[in-house]
Structure formats: C-alpha cells, structure tokens
C-alpha cells in the first residue's frame, strides 16, 4: 500500500502536509486533487508527494479523487512548497494560487442502503430509524441535507450514525455542484433539409403562422446552427415560436459551449515584427540565445533597462515569437490589466487568436474558461496581472515582467504575501524558462543584482524615434519656496501656468499629475520647505489627528506639533494635502477655456471607464487630464506636450525607506508621458526640495545618478538589498492591548534571537503601522531586519492576530 502527503484545505493545516493511505485500486499522482477525511469533515486536498511509508503511525485513507487529471504540475508543486516556506504562508494558500478558478468547494454527504440481511430484525430499530431507512430505500440514495430537512439536523445526523454503525447504511461523498461551468448557449438548427423547410414555411404561412414561417425561412438560409439570441435579433422570433417549431420536429435547440472571450469586444488588426534597431537587436540576440540553450543551473534572468519608448515591448514581442518558434510558450505579466489596454492590444495583434488574457474583472466563468483552454495548450501567450504567474501554461519558455518595479507585483493584502518577481524567477528555475524583467526605472534591488552579475543587464539607452523628433522631454524644476516669496499662493507656479496656457491655446494637450497618497498626513513649513522627520529613522513624521502629535511610524518617536518651524522659525507650518478634486476646481478657475477631464479611482468605478476616459482624451475631447498614479502607466498619447507635476514631494514624505526610490520612479514615468509625438514635449516638477537627489535625477532622466546615491544610503542604513525585512503587524480593537502584545512579541523575538546566537538581526519598533487604524482595529508593527528573518521566523511560534509580511513593499 502507498501513502500520499496531502496539503489539506483547512486553516489548521498551516505549513504541513498530512499522510493518507492510498486505498487499493485508486491510482494517485502528484498534483492530484483528492477528498480526504479530516477530523469530522471531508476536505479538499492536493497530493504533494507519494511515499512507501507514512510520516505518522496511523493514517486514514484518501476518500476519493476529485479530478482524474493532476491540477498541479510537478514544478508547481515545488513552487508551492517554496512559497509557503519563504513567505511563511499556509501551504494550501500557496497551492490555491495555482488551482482552477472556482475549484474550492465543499463535499456533500450521501446515504445509501446496500442491502439488509434477510435475518435482520427490523423491530430492533426505533421508529425513527425505520422511518429514515424507508426514506433512503425508497429513493436508493439520499443526501444528508435532505434527511436533515425531513428529520431535523441533529436527529438526522444521529440516526445516520446509528444506521452506519449497525452496518445498514453507507455514507459516500460528492462535490457540491460546480458553481462555474463552461458557458453554454442554445443554438437553433433545422431538423429537416433546407428545401423541405421552405415548403413547410409556405404551408405555415397559409395557416397564418407567420412568425414560425419566417423563422423557418431564416434557418433555411443558414449554413450552420444559429445562436437563439441571434435568431431573436435578426429574424425577430421569440422563444415560443422556436419552441413551436421544435414541437413540430422541424427545428432542434441544442446547447453549444461558447467561449467567454475578454478580447472579443475589441477589433484587432494583425501587426508584424519591426526591423530592430542595433541596440534592440543586440538585446534580442542575448535573450534568444538563452532560449535556445539548454537549462543551466542558474535561472536565466535578464533586466531590460530602457526608458519609456526605447522599444522594450517590441523586444518582448519578438522574444515571445522566438520562444514560440522553438515550440515553447510565454507568460507576460503587467502591473494592472485595466491600466494597460494598449499593451494588451499590441500582444493580441502580434499573436492573433493566440493570446489569453487573465483579468481580475472577468467573471469566474470567464476565468474558468480561459484557464481550461490555457491548460489545453491553446495559447502562445498568457497576459495578466500577478496572478497570471500561476497560469497552467504548458511548455513554459519565457516569462516577461513588464514594469518590474511596480508595487502591484507584491501581494500585500492577503496570504501568501508573495512578490511576483521572486516567484517568477523561482518558477523559471524549476521549468528552465527565461525571465525578462523590463523597466525604465528598475527596482533598486533588481539593478543591484544586475550590477553584480546575478542577472544579465541589457540596456536600451535611447528612445526609438521613428520621426527623429521625440527625444526625452526637457524637465524644469520649479522651487515652490520662490513662488511663495514672490507672493504666488496658487497651486500653479508662474512657469507651469504659462506653459499650460500656451499649450491649450496652441491646441495641444496637458497632463497634470498629483499623487494623493500620503497627502495631509505630514506637515511642512511653507516658508523653507522643511518636512519634520524622525531624528533616528530619517522618515517623515506622520500627523495623528486624535492626539495632535507627530509620530514616527518606524520607531514610535513622538513630538507635539510645533508652532514654529524649527529651521526658519516661520509660523507658516501647514498640513499638506490637496486632492485631485481640489486641483480640478482650481484648474477650471484658472484655465477657464480649457476642457478638463479627471482620472482617478473615484472617476473609474465602472468596468470599462479606464478605457473610456483614455479614449476620450486620446480623441482630444479634453485639453487637460488631471490624475493620480494611474496616468503614469504605459499610455501613449502623442498630443501631450506638457506634463505638470503639481507636487513632486508627496511621495518623498512617506514614512518608508523606499520613499526616494518611489519618487524617482513616479516622476520619471510621469515625465515620460510628455513628448511622445512629433510635437515634442516638456515636463515641470513643482517642489519644495529641488535639491533632492531623486528629483534631480528624474529631471535629468538619469537612472545611474539616482541609483548610485540610493544604493549608498541603503548600504549605510543596512536596508535591502543589503538585508531582508519582515514586517509583523498585530491588530486588535483595543489600542493599548495591541501595543502590549507587540511589546511582548518583541521580547520573545529578542530572546529567541539571543538564545540562538544570531548576530545580524535587529528588531525595530513596535510602532503604529502606517495606517494605524483600519476598519475599527488598531495596528502595531514590528520590523525585523537581518540576513534571513524569514528562516528565523519559521522557528518562532506566531500567535493568532499577527500578520507576517516577508520582503514588504511600503512600510
Ligand atoms: P517601450 O516598451 O520601451 O516603451 P515600445 O516597444 O513601446 O517601447 O516602442 C516605442 C515606440 O517605438 C512604439 O510606437 C513602437 O512601435 C516603436 N518601435 C519600437 N521598436 C521599433 C523599431 N525597431 N522600429 C521602428 N519603430 C519601433
Ligand atoms: Zn521653515
Ligand atoms: Zn524613528
């Protein structure tokens, strides 16, 4: 008899598997979904390993197979183990990433009576037991639910147990009905040949059955079955008419499986490979060589570093085509599908009919359909957000991560809190695939790896400028302190308002960018620009309204809000925070002739409104587009000649060591939106800290300038990539209790660390988390910094109520 290590869908299971015996006659494979008894219940599980011996003495048997084909490939099984280990997440959470959408279901219990021995004395049963027995016998098999409805829940369960114990009844299990199933539509077709149909139609017409006659004539002209919905539209028939013809055996209605296609609403014209520039050619050649080579020991990871418009996407497309030529397939990851419609279109038009799009806004049914077709090998390319990393794409040869620095690649809000980049690299290592990371502003850690030679660095130093007329936009940095001195208190500096006025007059388009995140939570001197920072951590202090204090969200240092600026003694200390709505108001006032359009999460609640807003702006139905981070994503808007950043500082003042990196990335991207057409362009950054290296470097489009400074700071403060971080957050409705538990945990961790003699692990905090109170619960945070906090924490018992985030982005 063999045994299986099964990952069980129960919160109790955490990071372990359970041993089950494989009953004789059942053929079980690694990756297969099975039913297993677990306590009183029957649960879903995935077989992760097979062995000749069980890991424990007493094992139960696997109750049954859920699906005949394995749902996880061996590589995915290994990946699940890795995710669970590295991110300290329950195994089933890791496995669940890879399951067919809608997979998680409950088991239903059925009762049947095989046969009652002739000599059995029925009078030895109670009346209720006999009643239940008859009920089941009458129908052959009855669900426990149904018995519960008839006899009452408790009673039904007791009686069934009694009958089973006496050997009269047997339990069996089945999945509850599938919630998602392939979508089917009724199709109409003739049950007779077309000639007969026309004769029938004439006869019906004589009898006055005009509708039926019309439908028959319509069907007689069709070469294949017609969807009922289409017949209704075109032939103006209703369901009753169709049914009447079915009754007369002239027509049949049959369900036909249809594909729910997220791309079907778009018209796609095929596109063809461009002739690569010299820089593109050399990058492409490196990637294609590694596609051909046999699997090496290290994962083949490329960092494709090139400014927006330098032709990275064209390289992705041609590298994918090369992979396909070699009989392989690809996965392309984008930060967020809704924000990258143009990118999707480009892939869809280069590989017509061979691109699957996985989209969180698809219905469960649509996701299910795509997943099945991907597994059948119907697509060359799967495109999606981070969840698409786990698509069951066979023969995986290439994984592209576009805009690899984006924070949406980290799943931070639910377990497992994984980072797509690290998971994709692991998956590539397991499958022999090649990874291409693309960005104009690579993550500092990624660039560090590329510098060290862990990844191959490929550079595209210039924009591809087909018309030789759109170099990177010139950036002007405006010092807002000077504006105040000159008496200008509006949101627009003199430079910016002149530029806007000119662009609008000349019929060009303008983007105004305002990053609302973190606004109004920090305070700043309006005279000298000073932002109050923690003395120990260098991060901006956060204003807490309730206590009227400034708090360091890293170490919990606190000071009252000062009356005077500590640097220039001005009284003009202000809470910063202007939202996009306020900006829109002021812009409409200042530029009364311009047509405004606002793009932020308030304006885009509906399904296709991203696309709608974008189309509206592209069709030049507005002159000025006002927006938050969303407008920084891969838009190609050739009529935009001016990008204004209303406050370049908002990001700088987030309490996070990545604030500089984040600011540099955002500003670079925003500036990159200007001058993508023949008119050229300009960007203006308004700031109180014009000397800040992140702002300076972004203004000069100089990644190296930024990186060299940033990596120095990281080294000095021992921040990633020179260490690894883990964030531990405890939540509770009682603030004081929450703080106490955080203190307790800190001591426990320090004790554990010292007893193990680990030198390079520091514990920072506890401090209130960045969002101190969320949905009525307080949150306190500890940060662990060291070479391997994840390995250390896996040995520490972590009580309920704590959330662990390994490699957190955004503290
Ligand atoms: P990125 O992904 O780096 O932003 P893209 O691949 O989108 O750059 O290229 C920018 C623009 O240049 C696109 O309009 C693209 O069609 C065009 N382009 C890219 N490569 C070439 C090439 N080799 N020849 C001509 N045009 C190109
Ligand atoms: Zn000041
Ligand atoms: Zn501090």
Distances (CA, A) of 512 to 342, 508, 580, 639: 21, 13, 9, 14
Instruction: Using DSSP bridges, classify how beta strands 549-551 and 558-560 pair: parallel, antiparallel or unpaired.
Output: antiparallel
CA–centroid distance, 310 to ligand 1, in Å, is 6
The percentage of residues in the chain with a pLDDT greater than 90, rounded to a whole number, is 41
Q: Is the CB of 312 under 6 A from ligand 1?
A: yes
Q: Give the mutation target among 275, 309, 316, 440 for probing the ligand 1 site: most ligand atoms within 8 A of CB.
A: 309
Q: What whole-number distance in Å separates Cα of residue 711 and Cα of residue 51? A: 48
Nearest listed ligand to the Cα of residue 311: 1
Nearest listed ligand to the Cα of residue 528: 2
CA–centroid distance, 698 to ligand 2, in Å, is 25
Question: Is 519 a residue whose pLDDT tops 60?
Answer: no
Q: How confident is the model at residue 520 (pLDDT cuts 50, 70, 90)?
A: very low
pLDDT of residue 578: 53
Residue 670's closest CA among 691, 689, 687? 687
CA–centroid distance, 289 to ligand 1, in Å, is 22
Q: Is the CB of 724 under 6 A from ligand 1?
A: no
Q: The pTM is what?
A: 0.78
Question: Is 294 a residue whose pLDDT tops 70?
Answer: no
CA–centroid distance, 540 to ligand 3, in Å, is 9
pLDDT of residue 467: 54
Question: Is 576 a residue whose pLDDT tops 60?
Answer: no
pLDDT of residue 130: 87
Three-state DSSP at 599 gives strand
Residue 732's closest CA among 662, 805, 644, 803? 803
Question: Is 78 a residue whose pLDDT tops 50?
Answer: yes
CA–centroid distance, 560 to ligand 3, in Å, is 15
pLDDT in tens, 755-791: 999 988 999 989 888 767 766 678 899 999 998 999 9
Per the DSSP assignment, residues forming a β-bridge with 525 are 573
685 contacts 513 by C-beta, under 8 angstroms: no
**CB within 8 A of 652, min separation 6: which ones?**
531, 540, 659, 660, 663, 689, 692, 694, 695
CA–centroid distance, 672 to ligand 1, in Å, is 14
pLDDT of residue 544: 67
361 contacts 398 by C-beta, under 8 angstroms: no
pLDDT of residue 604: 54
Mean pLDDT of 42-64: 90
Q: Is the CB of 277 under 6 A from ligand 1?
A: yes
- CA-closest residue to ligand 1 atom 4: 309
CA–centroid distance, 118 to ligand 3, in Å, is 82
Q: Is the CB of 310 under 6 A from ligand 1?
A: yes
- CA-closest residue to ligand 1 atom 19: 311
Ligand 1 atom having least distance to the Cα of 317: 6
Q: How confident is the model at residue 804 (pLDDT cuts 50, 70, 90)?
A: very high
Q: Give the mutation target among 280, 313, 319, 632 for probing the ligand 1 site: most ligand atoms within 8 A of CB.
A: 313
The percentage of residues in the chain with a pLDDT greater than 70, rounded to a whole number, is 88
Q: How confident is the model at residue 740 (pLDDT cuts 50, 70, 90)?
A: very high
**CB within 8 A of 797, min separation 6: which ones?**
none
Ligand 1 atom having least distance to the Cα of 440: 3
CA–centroid distance, 592 to ligand 3, in Å, is 45
Query: What's phi and psi for 590, nearest 5 deg?
Result: -75, -40
CA–centroid distance, 281 to ligand 1, in Å, is 13
pLDDT of residue 1: 63
**CB within 8 A of 689, min separation 6: which ones?**
529, 648, 649, 652, 695
Q: What whole-number distance in Å separates Cα of residue 170 and Cα of residue 113? A: 6
Q: Is the CB of 313 under 6 A from ligand 1?
A: yes
Ligand 1 atom having least distance to the Cα of 402: 2
Nearest listed ligand to the Cα of residue 463: 1
pLDDT of residue 427: 96
Question: Is 581 a residue whose pLDDT tops 80?
Answer: no
Q: Is the CB of 280 under 6 A from ligand 1?
A: yes
Instruction: Name the residues around ion ligand 2, CB cutoff 5 A.
Output: 525, 527-528, 530, 565, 567-568, 570
pLDDT of residue 191: 87
Q: What whole-number distance in Å separates Cα of residue 250 and Cα of residue 230? A: 19
CA–centroid distance, 811 to ligand 3, in Å, is 13
Q: Is the CB of 26 under 6 A from ligand 1?
A: no
Q: Radius of gyration of the chain from Cα atoms?
A: 32
Question: Is 580 a residue whose pLDDT tops 80?
Answer: no
What mean pLDDT is reported for the chain?
85
pLDDT of residue 230: 79
440 contacts 306 by C-beta, under 8 angstroms: yes
Q: Is the CB of 465 under 6 A from ligand 1?
A: no
Nearest listed ligand to the Cα of residue 334: 1
Q: Is the CB of 461 under 6 A from ligand 1?
A: no
Question: Is 266 a residue whose pLDDT tops 60?
Answer: no
Q: How confident is the model at residue 619 (pLDDT cuts 50, 70, 90)?
A: confident
Query: What's phi and psi for 13, nearest 5 deg?
Result: -70, -30
CA–centroid distance, 484 to ligand 2, in Å, is 12
Nearest listed ligand to the Cα of residue 541: 3
- CA-closest residue to ligand 1 atom 14: 309
Tell me, letter by letter, the H, E, C secondary structure of 279-347.
HHHHHHHHHHHHHHCCCCCCCEEEEEEECCCCCHHHHHHHHHHHHHHCCCEEEEECCCHHHCHHHHHHH
Q: How confident is the model at residue 343 (pLDDT cuts 50, 70, 90)?
A: confident
pLDDT in tens, 544-553: 666 677 877 7
DSSP classification of residue 522: S
Q: What whole-number distance in Å separates Cα of residue 164 and Cα of residue 154? A: 16
Ligand 1 atom having least distance to the Cα of 315: 6
Q: What whole-number distance in Å separates Cα of residue 200 and Cα of residue 341? A: 50
Residue 466's closest CA among 274, 315, 672, 637? 274
CA–centroid distance, 447 to ligand 3, in Å, is 28
Nearest listed ligand to the Cα of residue 768: 3
Least confident of 185-189, 417-421, 609-613, 704-708: 609-613
CA–centroid distance, 742 to ligand 2, in Å, is 36
Query: Got the DSSP string for 441-508?
Result: S--HHHHHHHHHTSSEEEEE-S---TTS---PPEEEEEEHHHHHHTT--SSS-HHHHHHHHHHHHTT-
**CB within 8 A of 13, min separation 6: which ones?**
7, 90, 91, 92
Ligand 1 atom having least distance to the Cα of 460: 3
Ligand 1 atom having least distance to the Cα of 314: 6
Q: How confident is the model at residue 607 (pLDDT cuts 50, 70, 90)?
A: very low
Least confident of 74-83, 277-286, 462-471: 462-471
Q: How confident is the model at residue 566 (pLDDT cuts 50, 70, 90)?
A: confident
What number of CA atoms fall less than 13 Å from residue 724's CA on the CB side? 13
CA–centroid distance, 319 to ligand 1, in Å, is 14
Q: Give the mutation target among 282, 464, 635 for probing the ligand 1 site: most ligand atoms within 8 A of CB.
A: 464
pLDDT of residue 517: 41
pLDDT of residue 806: 93
Most confident of the following: 46-50, 150-154, 584-588: 46-50
Buried-exposed string 658-680: b where 16+ CB fall within 10 A, e elsewhere: bbbbbbbbbbbbbbbbbbbbebe
Mean pLDDT of 145-158: 88
Distance linking the first and last C-alpha atoms of the chain: 51
The tokens 């006055």 sit on which residue?
A: 208
Nearest listed ligand to the Cα of residue 559: 3
- CA-closest residue to ligand 1 atom 20: 311
Q: What whole-number distance in Å separates Cα of residue 774 and Cα of residue 733? A: 10
Residue 529's closest CA among 486, 567, 490? 567
Q: Is the CB of 311 under 6 A from ligand 1?
A: yes
Q: How confident is the model at residue 631 (pLDDT cuts 50, 70, 90)?
A: low
Least confident of 401-405, 526-530, 649-653: 649-653
Question: Is 180 a residue whose pLDDT tops 60?
Answer: no
Nearest listed ligand to the Cα of residue 347: 1
Per the DSSP assignment, residues forming a β-bridge with 384 are 333
Q: Is the CB of 274 under 6 A from ligand 1?
A: yes
- CA-closest residue to ligand 1 atom 10: 309
Q: What whole-number distance in Å separates Cα of residue 522 and Cα of residue 773? A: 17
pLDDT of residue 65: 87
Q: What whole-number distance in Å separates Cα of residue 764 and Cα of residue 782? A: 6
Q: What whole-number distance in Å separates Cα of residue 460 and Cα of residue 719? A: 29
CA–centroid distance, 683 to ligand 2, in Å, is 27
Q: Is the CB of 306 under 6 A from ligand 1?
A: yes
CA–centroid distance, 648 to ligand 1, in Å, is 28
How much of the chain is helix, strand and coil, in % rounded to 5?
35, 25, 40
CA–centroid distance, 359 to ligand 1, in Å, is 25
36 contacts 69 by C-beta, under 8 angstroms: no
Mean pLDDT of 379-407: 95
Could you give the angle at which helices 703-716 and 444-452 cross, rounded to 10 degrees?
Answer: 90
- CA-closest residue to ligand 1 atom 6: 311
CA–centroid distance, 621 to ligand 1, in Å, is 26
CA–centroid distance, 646 to ligand 3, in Å, is 28
Instruction: Considering only residues 300 and 472, tell me which one the structure prediction assigns the higher pLDDT.
Output: 300
Mean pLDDT of 68-89: 95
pLDDT of residue 11: 84
402 contacts 331 by C-beta, under 8 angstroms: no
pLDDT in tens, 219-263: 888 888 888 877 777 767 788 888 888 898 888 888 877 665 556
Q: Is the CB of 805 under 6 A from ligand 1?
A: no
Ligand 1 atom having least distance to the Cα of 463: 10
Three-state DSSP at 530 gives coil
Ligand 1 atom having least distance to the Cα of 310: 3
Least confident of 95-109, 145-159, 514-528: 514-528
Question: Is 313 a residue whose pLDDT tops 80?
Answer: yes
């Amino acid at each position: 008899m063999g045994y299986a290590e099964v990952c069980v869908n129960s919160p109790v299971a955490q990071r372990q598997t359970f041993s089950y015996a494989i009953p004789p006659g059942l053929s079980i494979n690694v990756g297969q979904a099975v039913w297993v008894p677990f306590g009183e219940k029957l649960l879903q599980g995935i077989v992760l390993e097979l062995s000749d011996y069980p890991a424990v003495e007493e094992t139960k048997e696997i109750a049954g197979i859920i699906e005949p084909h394995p749902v996880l490939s061996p590589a995915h099984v290994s990946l699940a183990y890795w995710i669970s280990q590295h991110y300290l997440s329950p195994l089933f959470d890791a496995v669940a990433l890879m399951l067919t959408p809608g997979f998680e279901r409950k088991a239903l219990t059925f009762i049947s009576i095989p046969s009652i021995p002739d000599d059995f004395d029925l009078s030895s049963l109670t009346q209720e037991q006999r009643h239940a027995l008859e009920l089941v016998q009458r129908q052959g098999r009855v669900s426990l639910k149904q018995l519960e409805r008839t006899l009452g829940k408790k009673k039904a369960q007791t009686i069934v147990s009694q009958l089973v114990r006496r050997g009269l009844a047997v339990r069996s299990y089945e999945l509850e009905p599938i919630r998602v199933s392939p979508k089917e539509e009724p199709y109409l077709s003739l049950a007779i040949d077309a000639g007969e149909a026309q004769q029938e139609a004439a006869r019906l017409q004589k009898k006055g059955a005009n509708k039926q006659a019309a439908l028959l004539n319509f069907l007689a002209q069709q070469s294949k079955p017609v969807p009922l919905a289409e017949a209704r539209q075109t032939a103006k028939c209703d369901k009753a008419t169709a049914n009447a013809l079915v009754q007369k055996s002239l027509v049949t209605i049959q369900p036909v499986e249809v594909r729910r296609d997220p791309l079907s609403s778009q018209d796609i014209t095929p596109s063809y490979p461009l002739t690569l520039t010299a820089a593109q050619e050399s990058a492409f050649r490196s990637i294609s060589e590694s596609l051909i080579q046999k699997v090496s020991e290290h994962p083949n990871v490329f960092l494709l570093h090139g400014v927006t418009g330098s032709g990275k996407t064209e390289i992705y497309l041609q590298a994918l085509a090369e992979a396909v030529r070699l009989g392989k397939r690809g996965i392309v990851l984008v930060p967020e599908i809704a924000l990258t419609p143009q990118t999707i279109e480009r892939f869809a038009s280069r590989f017509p009919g061979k691109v699957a799009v996985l989209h969180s806004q698809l219905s469960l049914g649509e996701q299910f359909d795509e997943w099945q077709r991907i597994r059948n090998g119907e697509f060359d390319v799967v495109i999606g957000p981070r969840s698409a990393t786990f698509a069951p794409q066979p023969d995986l040869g290439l994984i592209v991560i576009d805009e690899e620095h984006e924070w949406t690649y980290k799943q931070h809000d639910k377990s497992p809190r994984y980072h797509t980049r690290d998971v994709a690299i692991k998956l590539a290592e397991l499958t022999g695939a090649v990874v291409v990371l693309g960005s104009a502003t690579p993550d500092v850690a990624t660039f560090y790896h590329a510098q060290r030679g862990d990844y191959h660095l490929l550079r595209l130093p210039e924009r591809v400028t087909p018309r030789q007329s759109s170099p990177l936009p010139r950036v002007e940095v405006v010092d807002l302190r000077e504006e105040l001195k000159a008496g200008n208190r509006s949101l627009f500096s003199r430079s910016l308002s002149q530029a806007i006025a000119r662009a609008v007059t000349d019929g060009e388009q303008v983007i105004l960018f305002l990053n609302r995140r973190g606004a109004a939570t920090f305070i700043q001197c309006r005279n000298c620009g000073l932002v109050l920072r923690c003395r120990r951590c260098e991060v901006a202090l956060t204003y807490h309204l309730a206590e009227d204090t400034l708090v360091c969200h890293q170490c919990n240092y606190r000071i009252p809000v000062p009356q005077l600026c500590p640097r220039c003694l001005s009284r003009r200390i202000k809470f910063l925070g202007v939202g996009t709505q306020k900006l829109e108001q002021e812009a409409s006032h200042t530029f009364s002739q311009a047509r405004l359009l606002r793009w932020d999460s308030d304006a885009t609640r509906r399904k296709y409104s991203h696309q709608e807003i974008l189309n509206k702006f592209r069709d030049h139905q507005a002159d000025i587009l006002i927006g938050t981070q969303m407008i920084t994503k891969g838009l190609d808007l050739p009529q935009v000649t001016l990008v204004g950043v209303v406050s370049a500082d908002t990001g700088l003042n987030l309490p996070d060591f990545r604030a500089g990196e984040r600011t540099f990335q955002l500003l670079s991207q925003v500036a990159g939106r200007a001058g993508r057409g023949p008119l050229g362009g300009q960007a203006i950054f308004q700031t109180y800290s014009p000397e800040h290296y992140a702002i300076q470097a972004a203004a000069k489009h100089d990644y190296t300038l930024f990186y060299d400074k940033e990596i120095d700071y990281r080294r000095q403060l021992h921040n990633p990539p020179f260490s690894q971080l883990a964030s531990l957050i405890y939540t509770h409705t009682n603030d004081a209790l929450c703080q106490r538990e955080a203190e307790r945990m800190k001591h426990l961790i320090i004790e554990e660390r010292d007893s193990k003699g680990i030198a390079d692990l520091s514990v920072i905090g506890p401090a209130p988390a960045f969002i101190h109170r969320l949905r009525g619960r307080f949150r306190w945070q500890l940060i662990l910094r060291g070479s391997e906090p994840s390995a250390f924490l896996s040995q520490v018992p972590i009580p309920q109520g704590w959330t662990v985030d390994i490699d957190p982005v955004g503290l």
